[in-house]
Amino acid sequence: MAAAQPLIGITTYGRSEDDKYSLPTNYVSAVRRAGGIPVLLPPGESSIEALFDRLDGIVLAGGGDIDPGLYGGQMHPEVYMVDPDRDLLELGLTRQILSKDLPTLAICRGAQMVNVALGGSLHEHLPDVVGDEIAHRLPPREPTPHVVNLVEGTGLAGLLGQLTFDAASWHHQAIHRVGRGLAVAAHAPDGTIEAVELPDHRWLFAVQWHPELTAEVDPLQQALFDELVETCERELEETHSETDNRLAGEQGDEA
């Protein structure tokens, strides 16, 4: 039997002023290359548990800023695109992810959301804290590469098999106080936290950089999506074989 293709939910941007939900296509492409079926998750969904129960894995995508009120932060002139509906859906999904152990790749805003859901806080505007020696985005709001250094011995270092690499950076906020149970897995050269992971979770990696931007040409970044989907495939196979065994047992009882 061919391996079942996992359904990978991907959060989208909030409703735009011209009345659209959207998501950069490279998130979808990276999940498809890995063998998953992308399912877009727009804000406004109220049946979060029912939705969640049909997904095999989740990509918490990047986007605008989380409401600082959710982590005891302050409004800052640079805070942009705050969207209460998006915050509500993603906080709900993240709580499900944490309580039900669903494999999850959290990217940029998604990584910040995981941290906030676990009681952590964010730097409202990173250049206020670390200066501008390392650019984490280009004006007005464009991606730029910088070096990322993984922490030796972390799950992420084991997964990627390489401690230092260039990654696409596109953020002006970052993790400040680290949430409960999270382990820091990467830094930028200026000390900014660039990844966290949750060792008690089945598979949860949260990266501040944007692997989807370079995954098509950089196998290291595609590996994050590949590993997510492979983990979900293994779960599906285990569930199927358990079901097969149970059915075989029931048939045996009848015979």
- 169 scored as a contact of Mn ion (CB under 5 A): yes
Q: Which of 194, 210, 232, 233 is catalytic?
A: 210
- 136 scored as a contact of Mn ion (CB under 5 A): yes
Residue 197 corresponds to which amino acid? E
Which part of the chain contacts Mn ion (CB under 5 A), choosing from 27-35, 135-143, 151-159, 195-203? 135-143
Could you tell me which of 96, 66, 118, 106 has the C-alpha nearest to residue 195? 106
Size of the site for Mn ion (CB under 5 A): 2
Proportion of the chain in helix, strand, coil states, percent, rounded to 5 = 35, 20, 45
Could you tell me which of 208, 249, 198 has the C-alpha nearest to residue 122? 208
Q: Which of 124, 212, 233, 235 is catalytic?
A: 212
- For residue 220, the minimal CB distance to Mn ion (Å) is 16
User: In the annotation, is 210 catalytic?
Assistant: yes
- For residue 173, the minimal CB distance to Mn ion (Å) is 10
Q: Which of 90, 108, 146, 171 is catalytic?
A: 108
Could you tell me which of 104, 130, 133, 77 has the C-alpha nearest to residue 196? 104
- For residue 108, the minimal CB distance to Mn ion (Å) is 9
Residue 60 corresponds to which amino acid? L
Residue reference for tokens 């079942």: 4
State which residue, 32 or 125, has the beta carbon closest to Mn ion. 125
Asked if residues 205 and 195 have their Cβ atoms less than 8 Å apart, the reply is: yes
In terms of DSSP H, where are the helices of the chain? 25-33, 48-53, 84-100, 109-117, 127-130, 155-160, 211-214, 219-254
State which residue, 169 or 221, has the beta carbon closest to Mn ion. 169
State which residue, 144 or 239, has the beta carbon closest to Mn ion. 144
- For residue 86, the minimal CB distance to Mn ion (Å) is 22
User: In the annotation, is 232 catalytic?
Assistant: no
State in Å, rounded, how far the first CA of the chain is from the last one.
Answer: 26
User: In the annotation, is 76 catalytic?
Assistant: no
Could you tell me which of 135, 131, 97 has the C-alpha nearest to residue 113? 97
Q: Which residue has the CB atom at the shortest distance from Mn ion?
A: 169
- For residue 146, the minimal CB distance to Mn ion (Å) is 6
Which part of the chain contacts Mn ion (CB under 5 A), choosing from 15-23, 131-139, 218-226, 244-252? 131-139
In the complex, the residues that contact Mn ion under the rule CB under 5 A are 136, 169
Q: Which residues are catalytic?
A: 108, 210, 212
